[in-house]
Structure formats: structure tokens, C-alpha cells
Amino acid sequence: MKTKQIIIVFTLMAMTSLTSCQQDELLYSCDPEINSWVIEHKIEYANLSRDQLVKFDYLKQRGLFASFSPEQKVNIYQSKYQYLMDLNTLTKEEKEWLTILYQRVTPNIYSSQSDKNEFIDFSLIWAYKAMEKFSWERIDLYRYTHTWMTNDEFDLWIETVKNQKTSSPDSTRGDVEPELPCVCYWDISCLWAWQDCKKGKCVETEDGCGILGTNKCTGDCM
């Protein structure tokens, strides 16, 4: 993937934070239209399955997930876990390592700050060990732990973003604008190895980064 295309992907990701972006009226998306749509439909779609969720536009997926109860967020990632266990591209050892992580996924990591902090500390150590043990790249870690999408869905999403934005006159990013939300918490929250999670140039958000979306977003992938 070319550098310009990677930049485009992360520009879009920056606009899709799960949190309020420090504006009380934006509960579920930094996009006011998406936020209003989620408020209107969140009761109707409160019990969507993972397969149903991914049929929506990606921005709506993010907003809907943010509106889910802690229990429903767990259901979504339990479905992702079952998908991972059925992947023939993962070794037995990789599946066992993923099981160690996913068996810690409970509603409390989304509702209790102390449990969330404990999970974040654990998941960071787990992630670095996974990359070392299995020679995973950041994109591998992202596929398995940072999104509810399957590998094919994830690849299709990135390709769609590239196709939609490549010809845009605004495809170069430049400096991060102050109103853009942060998109990462630590460096391995960024997809590509050449990027670091730089702090202080974006608006911090409460959740939506890192493994299973439990981390605060405090930096930008640059």
C-alpha cells in the first residue's frame, strides 16, 4: 500500500471515533449526522449480531457499537472470537494465545474503570508477547484484536476507502487539525510499522482505541 493511501485510511479512521470527542451532544460519533442517526436507531438496533452490524456503512458500525450495552459489546467480540477459532490460517498455538485474551472479555471491561484499567495493562503485555512469539505484524494484531470485522471484511473496507479517496484533491493530510479526534493509544495501535502514536496534536477521546476498543485515544498515527 502506498504512503498516500495509508494516510487516507487513517484520515478516515480519525473521523470515526467511538466517543463524544469532548462535545456532550456527540455521544456516539464525531460526525453529527451519524450521531443523530444512531440516537434515532439505537433501540431498534440494540441487539444486532456481528454479522448484521457489518452490513452497515463503517461509520454507522462504529456509532452503533458505541451505543451498545457492555453485554452486547461482549457478544460482538465473542462472535469475532468464534470466527478466529475457525480460521485455518491460524496455528493451534496462535488460537490458544488469542483464547487467553478473549477469555478476559467481560462486560466489566466496558463498564468498570478499574476492570478496564486491569484489562488494558494485561492486553498491552499480551500484545507485545504475541508479536514476538508469532512474528505478527501490526496489521495482524489489528485484524485479530482491534476490530470486529473478519479478515475479508477488513480488507474490503480498506480497499473501499482507497477507491473512494485516492482521486480526492484533499488526499494529502498535512498537519493534524485540532478538531480531529485522536486515533491511537500506543504505537502498536497503528497499523503500519513505520508509524508511531504521537501525542498532543489531536483531541483526546475516552474510548475506542487499542485492543477491543477499551483504550483512551490520546495520539495520532504519524
pLDDT of residue 117: 92
pLDDT of residue 136: 96
Q: In the chain, which residues have pLDDT < 70?
A: 1-26, 161-180, 200, 205-207
pLDDT tens, position by position, 166-201: 444 444 444 433 356 788 888 888 888 888 999 867
Q: Where are the domains of the chain?
A: 3-221
pLDDT of residue 25: 54
pLDDT of residue 29: 76
Our measurement of the distance from residue 162's CA atom to the centroid of its chain's CA atoms, rounded to an integer in Å, reads: 18
pLDDT of residue 203: 74
What CA dihedral angle connects 55, 59, 60 and 64, to 10 degrees? 110
